[in-house]
Amino acid sequence: MKPIDANKIVYAKAAEKYNELEPHFYPENQLKVKNILKNIRSKSGSKLLDVGCGTGFIINLAKDLFDEIHGVDISVEMLNRIDTSSGDITLHNVEVENLPFEKDSFDAISAYAVLHHLENYEVVLNEVFRVLKPKGIFYIDLEPNKHFFKLIDSYKDQSGENISDLVKNEIKSSCYSDKKVEEEYGIDGEIFNVSEYTKTEFGGIDAEELANISKKIGFSKCKATYHWYPGQGKVIHQQSEADAKVIEDYLHEISPLSTALFKYLRFIIEK
């Protein structure tokens, strides 16, 4: 089975519960992403394309910031969940590898939790470069950090007394997400693994590798940010966001020693 077919199956089933079950819809994350989109809007222009738009996570946050928004996704079921009643929003049920737009069409393009589902994300980077205007911004987020998943995978068969409950929970959520979707959505775990092709086959995304590919394609700048360390949610809810930020800032300060301690990658790429 090809990744694109697996994704169609997975998200046809996931669409109904997706907004309620996925952590990136938590209010604190929506606020963080909203602020990123505000910053992008201030530096780009009024026309946004969201590739792999799903049920409209980015679109909902961006529709009061951008004058015109286009969303692309292969899942009709996910697209049907998007509220297009306000704002200039147009949806396209097409593959992200073949965008139906002219060269230099958009001021900004976003891809939230998309690239690791693709068989070859370089193809999409090329398409984005084609339809993005000069000086435009490509925002990528919530991509699995290959260094983190390699580290966590090395502990997945250990359950000794020296491993805390926090780490055990992280191992469960990171290494056995196929079991989780079987329980929550009733989706076959093997099909889910195929749908997350880059994560399953390559262990995630290497920030340096993606940056090199983007520069080879012709993008002028690529800034990678590592984010979300194990236990960050616990610190936010049991202590405060301020405490969580202190830890995050410290881990960033000791980079690259800390790069394997962050679960996700964010990229701001300029044409």
269: helix, strand or coil: strand
Query: Does the structure show a pLDDT above 90 at 159?
Result: no
Query: 51 — alpha (psi -120 to 50), left (phi > 0) or beta?
Result: beta
pLDDT number for residue 161: 65
3-class SS of residue 187: coil
CA 74 – CA 94 distance, rounded (Å): 5
Sheet containing 132-144: order of strands: 88-92, 68-72, 47-51, 106-112, 132-144, 264-270, 221-227
pLDDT at 28 over 90: no
Give 3-state DSSP helix, strand, coil % of the chain, rounded to 5. 50, 20, 30
How many independent structural domains does the chain possess?
1
DSSP bridge pairs for 226: 265
Q: Do the beta carbons of residue 193 and residue 179 sit within 8 Å? A: no
Residue 180 has a pLDDT of 85
Q: What is the mean pLDDT of residues 194-215?
A: 97
> Residue 260's pLDDT is what?
96
Which CATH number does the domain housing residue 204 bear? 3.40.50.150
- pLDDT above 90 coverage of the chain, percent: 85
Q: What is the pLDDT of residue 198?
A: 96
Residue 175: pLDDT band with limits 50, 70, 90: confident
Each residue of 72-129: pLDDT tens digit? 999 999 999 999 998 899 999 999 999 999 999 999 999 999 999 999 999 999 999 9
pLDDT at position 65, please?
Answer: 97
- State the pLDDT at residue 158: 75
Domain ranges, residue 160: 3-270
Task: Judge whether residue 31 has pLDDT over 90.
Answer: yes
Q: How far apart are CA 205 and CA 213, in angstroms?
A: 12
